[in-house]
Structure 1
Amino acid sequence: MSKVQEPRPDGHRDLVGQPHEAEEGPVAEAEAEAARISSPERPRGTMGKPFNRRSPFLIGLTAAAGVAVTYGLVLMVVGLRDVLIVIGLALFIAIGLEPLVSWLVVRRWPRWLAVTTVFLAAFGLLAGFLAAAIPVIVEQATQLVQKVPTYVQQAQDRSSWLGQLNARLHLQQAIEQSISGGSSLVQAGLAVFGVLTNFVVLVVLSIYFVADLPRIRAAAYRLVPNSRRPRAILIGDEIFVKVGGYVLGNLLVSAIAGALFLTWLLIFGVPYAVLLAITVAVLDLIPVVGSVVGGILVSLVALTVSLPVCLATVGFVILYRFAEDYVLVPKIIGRAVKVPAIVTVVAVLLGGALLGVVGALVAIPVAAAALLLTQELLFPRLDAM
């Protein structure tokens, strides 16, 4: 690339706006001044005095521009909602994996090698898990398909508990309507394709975000005024630590939930144990409501064995909920996040209502960040008034 041409003593550049003429008047004078303030250290000169922010015209212009920009941003966010959710979730995952990467970098690993190692380990664990679980899942899914006629027959028999439940809730009719018609199959195929596409994009973005997170962090802090930047770094890094601790802790708690439920279901001979345990582990990633939904599903399937097994499973679900809320989460996640229980419940409900499953998943670290900002910024200012 050729070097950018420096202005001549009169301020003109040979490659811009030729020919220059003396009749340019004030512009020619400004160009001469531009050549005077240009120096090797600051080739583009120094910043001038700020505008008078109290000017009525500037106030009105700023207000009108603020309204227009806000309206445009709202429309943009609504239109790009799905894309922004994927980008935000990728950044959330990247911040969650950052503690592992930084732990390796501190031990003198090159960052590219640390990022590669973390993702290869994650993909290896996922591949090993799928290799072990998919054959069992396929086998149990095949058994479920083979037993569907039996369940249908029981649903039509009003003397059985399933028949009585079907008579009250019309389960068979609802299932037949949901799977009837070709359009539903097409929609299901499109939904699966969309999920797979978003997953691939999510993985790629997460890798890029983790690899460039130091530069992203530095660029974000450059947006803060210099006088406030040191404190912003302290608060921002603490938020990063909270998010990272939550992501890793949540994965560990979900793995423990899946292992405990699998053990329980195998002991009592509940069908589809592996499939149910995986479902519970995935649902448990959603705070508060996830394990409740998984426990209800497991209890209903346990009812196909016997009523005592179902009641025992309900008791096990309740006992696990207490253990997770008062032992696992405080020990594994609570030390990093430090969010009160009532704030957790409200945050999950609001996040789920706004963004669905993704909103419920990220609700707790967002609430932790909001609490930290409130304690460090809002409360001191209110106390000083």
Structure 2
Amino acid sequence: MNDEKAHNHWVAQPHSDSEPAPISEAEERAAELSSDQHPLGRPGRRFDRHSPFMVGLMASAGVLVTVGTVRVVLTAHQALLLVAAALFLAIGMEPAISWLVRHHVRRGFAVTLVFLIVLGGLAGFLWAAITPLIGQGQGLIHHAPDALHHLEDRYPLVREATDRFHLDEWLQHATGADFGKVSQGLVGAGRVVFSWVTATILVAVLTAYFSANFPALRANLYRLFPRERRPRAILIGDAIFAKVGGYVLGNLLISLITGILTFIWLAAFGVPFPLVLAVLVAVLDLIPLIGSTLAGIAIALVALTVSLPVCLATVVFFIALRWLEDYLLVPRIIGRTVQVPAVLTVVAVLVGGSMLGVLGALLAIPTAASLLLLVRELLYPRLDRPQASGAANPPDSR
């Protein structure tokens, strides 16, 4: 029978001849429609979108989709943040992977090579610095109250600030340990560590998947656009991907440079805990504008425990480092990839940080650059388009 060709061998077996006549006729017609080029048949005639039934159905479906989307986002926002972070990292590594592919390296091997370089560098840093980091971190925590008392004895202004804001009590509470609550603290710390490790593994796996399948993901994304608008979407979309990728790689490289320069400066002037403070500067420098300022204030306070001249010199060093980053490193490394006005940068960082925390602050500038590109390419030309003569000179209503 012809309907044997249309009836799937993996569905509703055994197939018999006792099916209702309308179904048998439909299966015979399905067998005729199926071909090698179109195994599932060609699309049929479109529905009339202007019919009352379709208008009401589309309106109801739009409301349901909107409500469902909002509920899904609110319920699974933590998982969605992990997916967004992985996609962000994958786009950030895409320039390096594409560079290797352009130099005749297979994409799978290029993704593996980039991941091995990143993981190898991270493992090497942890192997060389984990012991000093733990030791200096514990020393910084335990010696914080003594360092504050030392500053109070040397500088009356610090004593006044301590008495006014109760910094001494705050440090004792932050660094002190209540041994009656150690077990609860260990359980809570274990949960936090487990959640962070799980999140890190998930982000790493998703990043590898996105990177390996990025060409297919890109192609499927552009297939969602109508055929007439697809070329324009490809140009704008690739420009956005290039902005995000260039910003991520450039920001990581600039953060590494600032961390190394900070470590050299602190070690040269005998500032305590130079490795921990340098890592702190490198991590905070990833957050635009606010991060480097907070890092400079913290390093200046620690340098004040050495002497006032060293503190002042450290402040000058951070001002010079910020000037070097803004006027030399950023233009040369990131270049013109991300062009966002300073005011928009501040607003984007504040809004992103308040909405999503550190991840929001990191995503703020590339997101703002992408939105600014869309506004320039899509909104401004439409607003600047001259109106028709009839619209410009409406007829007299009298």
TM-score by length of structure 2 reads 0.86
Partner of 2:41: 45
CA 1:153–1:340 in structure 2 vs 1: closer, same or farther (change >3 Å)? closer
Q: Which runs of structure 2 are paired with 1:129-140 in the superposition (5 Å)?
A: 129-140=125-136
CA 1:142–1:65 in structure 2 vs 1: closer, same or farther (change >3 Å)? closer
Partner of 2:137: 141
1:84 matched to 2:85: no
CA 1:329–1:56 in structure 2 vs 1: closer, same or farther (change >3 Å)? same
The code of the aligned residue for 2:37 comes to E
Deviation at 1:280, TM superposition (A): 0.2
Counterpart CA distance in 2 for 1:330 and 1:159 is 41
CA 1:252–1:39 in structure 2 vs 1: closer, same or farther (change >3 Å)? closer
| Contact persistence 1:259–1:277 (CA under 8 A) | yes
Q: Which runs of structure 2 are paired with 1:1-385 in the superposition (5 Å)?
A: 7-8=3-4, 16=12, 18-21=15-18, 24=20, 26-144=22-140, 147=143, 150-151=146-147, 154=150, 163-178=159-174, 182=181, 183-384=184-385, 385=387
Counterpart CA distance in 2 for 1:351 and 1:158 is 41
Which piece of structure 1 moves more, 55-64 or 169-178?
A: 169-178
Counterpart CA distance in 1 for 2:238 and 2:8 is 46
SS at match of 2:367: helix
The code of the aligned residue for 2:289 comes to V
The code of the aligned residue for 2:206 comes to L
CA 1:176–1:378 in structure 2 vs 1: closer, same or farther (change >3 Å)? same
Partner of 2:393: none
| Contact persistence 2:82–2:199 (CA under 8 A) | yes
The code of the aligned residue for 2:220 comes to A
Deviation at 1:139, TM superposition (A): 3.8
| Contact persistence 2:259–2:278 (CA under 8 A) | yes
CA 1:151–1:309 in structure 2 vs 1: closer, same or farther (change >3 Å)? closer
Counterpart CA distance in 1 for 2:44 and 2:370 is 37
| Contact persistence 1:258–1:277 (CA under 8 A) | yes
Counterpart CA distance in 1 for 2:36 and 2:140 is 77
Counterpart CA distance in 2 for 1:370 and 1:360 is 16
CA 1:382–1:304 in structure 2 vs 1: closer, same or farther (change >3 Å)? same
TM-score by length of structure 1 reads 0.89
Which piece of structure 1 moves more, 152-161 or 132-141?
A: 152-161
SS at match of 2:3: coil
| Contact persistence 1:155–1:172 (CA under 8 A) | no
Deviation at 1:155, TM superposition (A): 8.2
Deviation at 1:153, TM superposition (A): 5.4
| Contact persistence 1:12–1:20 (CA under 8 A) | no
Give unpaired runs (5+ residues) of structure 1. none
SS at match of 1:336: coil
Pairwise CA RMSD of aligned residues?
2.7
| Contact persistence 2:145–2:171 (CA under 8 A) | no
Counterpart CA distance in 2 for 1:153 and 1:163 is 8
CA 1:364–1:334 in structure 2 vs 1: closer, same or farther (change >3 Å)? farther
Which piece of structure 1 moves more, 325-334 or 172-181?
A: 172-181
Counterpart CA distance in 1 for 2:190 and 2:151 is 29
Counterpart CA distance in 1 for 2:8 and 2:249 is 57
Deviation at 1:177, TM superposition (A): 3.9
Partner of 2:394: none
Deviation at 1:19, TM superposition (A): 4.0
Structure 1 segments (4+ residues) deviating >6 Å:
11-15, 155-159
Counterpart CA distance in 2 for 1:159 and 1:229 is 66
CA 1:273–1:16 in structure 2 vs 1: closer, same or farther (change >3 Å)? closer
| 1:242-288 per-position Cα deviation (integer Å, ceiling 9, x unaligned) | 11111110011111111221222123221111111110011101111
Deviation at 1:383, TM superposition (A): 2.4
CA 1:161–1:227 in structure 2 vs 1: closer, same or farther (change >3 Å)? same
| Contact persistence 1:7–1:13 (CA under 8 A) | no
Which piece of structure 1 moves more, 107-116 or 70-79?
A: 107-116
The code of the aligned residue for 2:299 comes to V
SS at match of 1:324: helix
Which piece of structure 1 moves more, 81-90 or 304-313?
A: 304-313
Deviation at 1:51, TM superposition (A): 0.8
SS at match of 2:336: helix
SS at match of 1:337: coil
Counterpart CA distance in 1 for 2:116 and 2:7 is 56
The code of the aligned residue for 1:283 comes to L
| Contact persistence 1:265–1:273 (CA under 8 A) | yes
| Contact persistence 2:340–2:368 (CA under 8 A) | yes
